[in-house]
Structure 1
């Protein structure tokens, strides 16, 4: 890890430790909640297995419908009012909004997502399994573990007859992994209608919550040149691939480690056959930043590079599309973090508080001003890889945390 990043995270840890003191915890846990959480460990893992073994990549409409069918049945069994809304593109699944009504005042929004980064067929190649205390399979912790945490926390609240809330709403997004194009307006509207948002992205490997997130963007570079026979008349061509290579090398310098801004080219395309100078080339890349001003700066620098191509008679166009806004730490997040730490202390556990370079729907919720905290899903690691895993022994404590957090927010509002 780069030394400046170590300093940044060390400083962040110190700030968090000072700003969010752990509240005194009660001598004993809430026995009713803990017992129900323990009783639901195996049923939760069974539902997790069904979800993981159903492919649901962001473009897999049939798979997303399959996940939605499983979840809808579970929610209806809980007595929730279940509504669906279509995604941005036909055939790409639907979003789910399920609501439980109570007798209190607090309005609490739970957020998770049904889509994964994996392609159709991955579940057949790597089906759910448990080995060495870890559950594996595509999407097991991102975010199917989060869905299961929501479902069984609601089971716990129902079982102990806790209804001291006005509403508890679960929003399940079908397009989070591609920037939530089919759900952003829905998420923002729901967040505005609630008093607190609990996002069920995976818990951090050190058993932590997420108190801030970077924003994300996608950059697009397109180069136009002139084609020619690579052997007969190469000098009459204007090589778009060469100019793209020049641009890529310079774009790679636009990150800023001191500010934790990253710029990475991730997709390159050029040419059709080996003996033709390519007249077009393109690249895509990923941009992450902690503050909006850094997106502005990267966009300006991209335009400057595009104005000065090195290969004569080529032209370059660039575009930076901003997806998730940054989720900064604020007083609302700190309050929820303090409360979460106190609740976890009831069962003798300690929550770490971390930031993440990954973007999530919590950023949309925080941006509209609703107190939001993230990372309340199942604990795991290896996100977005074939090594993704979920810690089986995190199921009970995480169920306890989520159910008790809903209870405490309800009783304090």
Structure 2
């Protein structure tokens, strides 16, 4: 028993020594930042609860605007020029944009979003504690918690006297969960911010684990395969003048995609919807359609829709060329055509992104929160930060509030992570300014 006690004491001393050693690298200004976040944590949680309790499903334009109306005054208190940009041109509510041009340090673009996947008809509407440190609520982690992390980090920088001369733009989109079209308009605020910025920091919750962050995200591009065949009685299929029919051709194309493209690293391509028969209608806006066809008739039409997810523009371009070549080798008496739609660009794992992660990880370790590693891009979906990839020197995402079960009625947020994530983000921004 005595030996076990001595071992426990030694382990505790090592832990205390490690934490003390880490904190030795934290400056007096950074200590002020951390202290302010600790002291104002209850206020931050109260604001989080308030915005979670406002339904802001993407298509609830009034609700999205209401969340912005709560947050805009908070940015104005910090000296930002904050506004709401109307989204009627792309059939969405719009975006919150806040700007501070202090003239010192790199230009930082901070990215959040106001909308959730939970529309007014969802049964999931309210913030609710399920333990001392865990709460449920629509969008609590994805990503209203991240929006509050942004505010908390900026408040702490102001309290330390460091915010006033920084260059920061905040863009909180109103259509991250269901993007408006065309993307050139719905993502214009983000792209304009990226063109202005040197560094982009996204506050999505990533994979929900504060020990990870995203320095790469695969892009997502929609595709549609349209197939035409010769309609005829089924007894005539495969004859020279009838050929294989539209459904066989669609099956050939999909099977060849499956067999020939699977070896591409970090690539996925998925057919999400297929329709075929004599008569086919397709409503891409509503992701629906109708088919009519009899078993004894060779199918005249087939339509398949899906997406491609790749890690770089080069990979996506290469795969698109392969897909078009596969489609061109059509079966007898059939015609196939590929169409590629709008989508999210990839965020490639550049050296700049890796360097930014290294800085962030050092901050985390010195604050006593441990090392941060990159998320496997196979485990990361597309996100707004990807629209910055062509313009900024560095980008990172996943710095928001940790949680679980996003996009479900069991979505939960870790309340303590609201402050720990704000501390890491605020000190990161302070060091980017100072170095």
- 1:301 matched to 2:300? The reply is no
Partner of residue 346 from structure 1, selected from 346, 366, 379: 366
Q: Residue 92 in 1 paired to residue 70 in 2? A: no
Q: Secondary structure at the match of 2:215?
A: strand
Tell me: CA distance 1:251–1:103, structure 2 relative to 1, closer, same or farther (3 Å).
Answer: closer
1:259 to 255, 265, 273: 265
Q: Does 1:223 align with 2:227?
A: yes
Which residue pairs with 1:8 in the alignment? Answer: none
Question: Which residue of 2 is the match for residue 202 of structure 1?
Answer: 205
Cα distance in structure 2, aligned partners of 1:383 and 1:353:
21
1:382/1:267 CA distance change after superposition, 3 Å: farther
Matched, 1:27 2:24: yes
Instruction: Return 251-260 or 281-290, whichever deviates more.
Output: 251-260
Question: Displacement, 1:287?
Answer: 1.1
Q: Give the drift of 1:96.
A: 1.9
Distance change >3 Å, CA 39–CA 163, structure 1 → 2: same
Provide closer, same or farther for how the CA distance between residues 79 and 343 of structure 1 changes in structure 2, counting only shifts above 3 A.
Answer: same
Structure 1 residues 119-130: aligned runs within 5 Å: 119-122=119-122, 124-130=123-129
State the number of aligned residues.
386
Task: Report the counterpart of residue 212 of structure 1 in structure 2.
Answer: 216
Against the structure 1 CA distance between its residues 266 and 171, is the aligned structure 2 distance closer, same or farther, given a 3 Å change threshold?
A: same
Does structure 1 retain, via aligned residues, the 8 Å contact 2:243–2:333?
Answer: no
> Structure 1 residues 317 and 31, CA, compared in 2 at 3 Å: closer, same or farther?
same
Rg comparison, structure with higher value? 2
Shift of 1:196: 1.9
Candidates 393, 403, 410, aligned match of 2:426? 403
User: 1:81 offset after TM fit, Å?
Assistant: 0.9
> What RMSD over aligned residues (CA atoms) do the two structures have, in Å?
3.2
Matched, 1:367 2:390: yes
Q: 1:103 touches 1:163 (CA, 8 Å); kept in 2? A: no
Residues 201-246 of structure 1, C-alpha deviation per residue, up to 9 Å, x if partnerless? 214333211122222211112233466899x999999864554344
**Residue segments in structure 2 that go unaligned for 5+ positions in a row:** 1-20, 278-290
State the shift of 1:105 in Å. 3.9
Q: Give TM-score, length-normalised by structure 1.
A: 0.81
Corresponding residue SS for 2:389: helix
Partner of 1:319: 339
Corresponding position of 2:3: none
Distance 1:294 1:103 in 2: 38
Give me the whole-angstrom Cα distance separating, in 1, the residues matched to 2:83 and 2:351: 32
Q: Is the 8 A contact 2:404 2:411 kept in 1?
A: yes
Distance 2:233 2:49 in 1: 55
**Equivalent residues in 2 for 1:6-85 (5 A)?**
25-27=22-24, 29=26, 30-85=30-85
Match of 2:415 in 1: 392
1:248 counterpart residue number = 254
Distance between the aligned counterparts of 1:234 and 1:330, measured in 2? 52
Q: Supply the distance in 1 between the matched residues of 2:245 and 2:129 (Cα, whole angstroms).
A: 52
User: How far did residue 129 of structure 1 move?
Assistant: 2.4
Aligned-pair CA distance for 1:262: 0.8
Q: Deviations over 1:347-383 (max 9, x none)?
A: 2111322232422232222311332221111122334
